[in-house]
Amino acid sequence: MLFLYLQVLNPFYVFQAFTLTLWLSQGYIEYSVAIIILSIISIVLSVYDLRQQSVKLHNLVEDHNKVQVTVMVKDKGLQKLESHLLVPGDTLILPGKTSLPCDAILIDGSCVVTEGMLTGESIPVTKTPLPHTENTVAWKSHSLEDYRKHVLFCGTEVIQVKPSGQGPVRAVVLQTGYNTAKGDLVRSILYPRPLNFKLYNDAFKFIVFLAFLGIVGFFYALGVYMYHGVSPRDTATMALLLLTVTVPPVLPAALTTGIVYAQKRLKKKKIFCISPQRINMCGQINLVCFDKTGTLTEDGLDLWGTVPTADNCFQEVNSFASGKALPWGPLCAAMTSCHSLILLNGTIQGDPLDLKMFEGTAWIMEDCDADYRTFGMPGSNIIIKPGPKASWSPVEAIAILRQFPFSSSLQRMSVVAQVAGEDHFHVYMKGAPEMLAKFCKSETVPKNFPQELRKYTIQGFRVIAFAHKGLKMKKLSEVENLARWKKVESDLTFLGLLIMENRLKKESKPVLKELHEACIRTVMITGDNLQTAITVAKNSEMIPGGSQVILVEANEPEDFVPASVTWQLVENQENGPEKNETCVNIGNSSVPDGARGSCYHFAMSGKSYQVIFQHFNSLLPKILVNGTIFARMSPGQKSSLIEEFQKLNYYVGMCGDGANDCGALKMAHAGISLSEQEASVASPFTSKIANIACVPHLIREGRAALVSSFGVFKYLTMYGIIQLIGASLLYWQLQLFGNYQYLMQDVAITLMVCLTMSSTHAYPKLAPYRPAGQLLSPPLLLSVFLNTCFTCIVQICAFLYVKQQPWYCEVYRYSKCFLDNQSNFSMNMSLERNGTENATLIPGSVLSFESTTLWPLTTINCITAAFIFSKGKPFRKPIYTNYIFSFLLISALGLTVFILFSDFQDIYRGMEFIPTLTSWRVSILVAALTQFCVAFLVEDFILQNRKLWLWIKKEFGFYSKSQYRHWQKTLAEDSTWPPTNRTDYSGDGENGFYINRGYESPEQIPKAKLELEGQTTEQHFWTRL
């Protein structure tokens, strides 16, 4: 009942109820009943939909309240209770497969969970216990790794637990109810982030404008009826009727039809949407960010080879292409042990990279049985041993005792393992080569490490480095309490590199080319190596051949050396500049003129991005307008980067496939998750087809939906104005249109047209420009204004000209001018004019030559307006491809012409018309068609002429207000930009510090606001620009 109550009290339905009451009081029963039926259907469907959503949401919330959990109670031991009784601080025992009813932090043992509902990623995630520490630092801060690796979130499923040697797996309750991650999810559904889209604000302004026209009509009707001395009751009634004409009753339904049709078409392409209002916003996207691995490139990685080290030197490459088994050695041992794979129901599951790496060793994974326990291995751990196809190994088995999971922010993972028969332990680490080298003894890292790494990354390979060290401790309990950053990840020995080939998906290159031809910027945001990202960008033609790539490397201040940023031109371009290009000297180098503007691309790492964020904030927008490659980016940095693009007034799309992209997917105007699930709360859009072909599909449908919304709005605006002008002219003589005349226009034409106008499919090719993003734009306002003028001219001329006809007479309520046929038309008309000179006007008359003349004009005008505003190319297919809409238009026009030229008494009596001469009817049709031709030519060749409007903007000095346009223009005029082969230093110290509220990662900038000359840091940032 609450949903019904709230829906009925919607301001539009309240206004509609007021309108229907007036119409019923005037005998407009048929039309009123039709609108009542439509309104009831609309309300019932809305209430049903809201009810269904409410039930699903209620079930989503209530599911975790009924879970039976085991809790440790002081002095009482273990107790079972329902999860809704949990409070923060309770200690949970995790027995095995279960659903988490709260947010809890793991303190003993480890477990594997699936977080698909929260992140959209189906890969199991390993959770490790919070490291023990004696200090009093907050638990989120004292661990270098992402604290989320220790937290079990409400709503996720525990699929496997691994107790430690100290008892069962235990976790302490952190949050319950709406304070949990699931509670955040529910809140995001109930109260989604408001869409700052100008279309919806402009739509409200337009409705206010239509209401204003209605008020003007109201006072006009009051004046006319009061002038003729009509009773106050009739005067008020007729004035209120004119007030209701301008706001069409079908407005709410019509405005959402474009989105509904687009959503259905997207669903057929396996693209699902949880936020339909964002579909219109997709039509404005002009920048798309892509993750690399799994998005632009294949999920699965092909093993290319290994490069082991010995005596501080790289050895020969062991190629997997030879078909030989990987030879045993420290690097092979690291590859078999250092991963996050799990054994679930006899199947190895985990990250695709880890799976491929493990398969390359030809080792197998088993649960620990009695035979291995004789070696002192704990029974809950996974055992790795050589498979039938593995090369000879002196090791019988390896047990993984402790795992420090991979973190995007740390760019590494580590494990503690034990070889069967040994009484000591081993540490193996894998991760980004640049990061891992920092934790190794310098004497074990080959001197040519940077050159060797570049050798492979520049070819587009994905490179993983490995390291190892032995632990002298002998007790398993000591391993359980190891601190990651003190005992484990320090003083390691560099073992070598694993080279993996990450092939482009076959759809990536064509899609990027299509977006490039549509003048939509593409950007890569990845956690992978910078050189690898640049190579993939070149291979995919995200960076076109011949373009210059400038590496931006920034460093934190050290001692007395301020922060610095180095600009280095990447050498050995595949397609160098042409010989005839002139050069502009910049610093110690030169960049050809052809490389300026969009022909140069900045590439940087997440570390450099953060330094520039802090110390070179004035450079940030300059870099972003031509930044294409952002590598080694943490999840928080990805979200921050999206927000910075939005500050430059880009409409940003983000396409990714992993949990690391969740923040960026939510931050973007249109986040597209490549996931097997139909819908994920991680992003507004989800594509079950795991390639980027969904991006142009979504943009095309967004453009079509946006253009449809504009067309419907223009049509409904003109529809209200057309009826207002016609009704106002009739009011001048205290007349009005008849009930069936309104019924024909409102239901048989306008309602059907509005419900089908938006069903035209999107045009298959993306245009190199976007549709208008706001209703209050000069072309649209001028279109409405000119069409209003054409309507006024035609209707006023017809209204005045009919009075000049020799057969015209003022028709009264009980006139005998309505004749059974047209044969005795002239004789009776002459008699009528002579016999009614002193008659008194009766308010509310329908039968008149004026209404008989104006109705076909207004009706045909409504039909032709629908045709004119249903523009096809370049954003939608031609109108004739919309078969239902075309059929309805032709049928409506045919029916109107039939009524106009028919001489059937029943039709004329029912429609309340007066027979006229055939020549006059032809004149009406010619006038309507002339108006159509003029309006069509003006709309198509002037108002929709993009070249003409661009010329007008140029001649009158109108420029885009977008920040990125401003920076592009400024930088194009700056002969010293872009800088190359030089280093700049920060000269403002901490005064250049800038905080982005959207930035959040374990290594994030402190969020304290600095007062800079009386300004917040945000204000200071833009002031400095």
Catalytic residues: 291
Q: Where is 211: in which H helix or E strand?
A: helix 198-227
What's 942's DSSP letter? I
* Residue 467 φ/ψ, nearest 5 degrees: -145, 165
Do residues 245 and 858 touch, judged by C-beta distance below 8 A?
A: no
Place of tokens 């449908």: 701
Please check whether residue 750 is in contact with residue 886, taking contact to mean a CB–CB distance below 8 angstroms.
no
Residue 280 burial (C-beta neighbours within 10 Å; 0-12, 13-18, 19+): buried
- Which conformational region is residue 268 in: left (phi greater than 0), alpha (psi within -120 to 50 degrees), or beta? alpha
For the stretch 379-384, contacts whose Cβ atoms lie closer than 8 Å and that sit 24 or more positions apart, written own/partner, are 380/162, 380/163, 380/164, 381/162, 382/341, 382/342, 382/343, 384/336, 384/337
Residue 976 and residue 584 in contact, taking contact as beta carbons nearer than 8 Å: no
Cβ(536)–Cβ(524) below 8 Å: yes
Residue 362 in tokens = 């030809």
> Cα separation of 444 and 681, whole Å?
46
Q: With residue 461 as reference, give the H or E element that holds it.
A: strand 461-471
In degrees and rounded to multiples of 5, residue 103 shows phi and psi of -85, 130
Quick one: which of 664, 673, 604, 617 has its CA closest to 636?
664
Cis peptide, bond prior to residue 131, ω within 30 of zero: no
Beta bridge partners of 542: none
Amino acid at 122: S
How far apart CA 218 and CA 238 sit, in angstroms, is 8
Does residue 927 contact residue 858 with C-beta atoms inside 8 Å?
Answer: no
Spatial contact of 814 and 839, defined as CB atoms under 8 Å apart: no
Residue bearing tokens 């833009």 = 1022
Other beta carbons within 10 angstroms of residue 557's beta carbon come to 16
Look at residue 561 and give its three-state secondary structure: strand
Q: What spatial distance separates the first Cα and last Cα of the chain, rounded to whole Å? A: 54
* 508-513 long-range Cβ contacts below 8 angstroms, 24+ apart: 508/296, 508/297, 508/540, 508/691, 508/692, 509/539, 509/540, 509/541, 511/691, 511/692, 511/693, 511/695, 511/696, 512/540, 512/541, 512/542, 512/692, 513/541
CB-count burial class (<10 Å; 0-12, 13-18, 19+) for 1010: middle
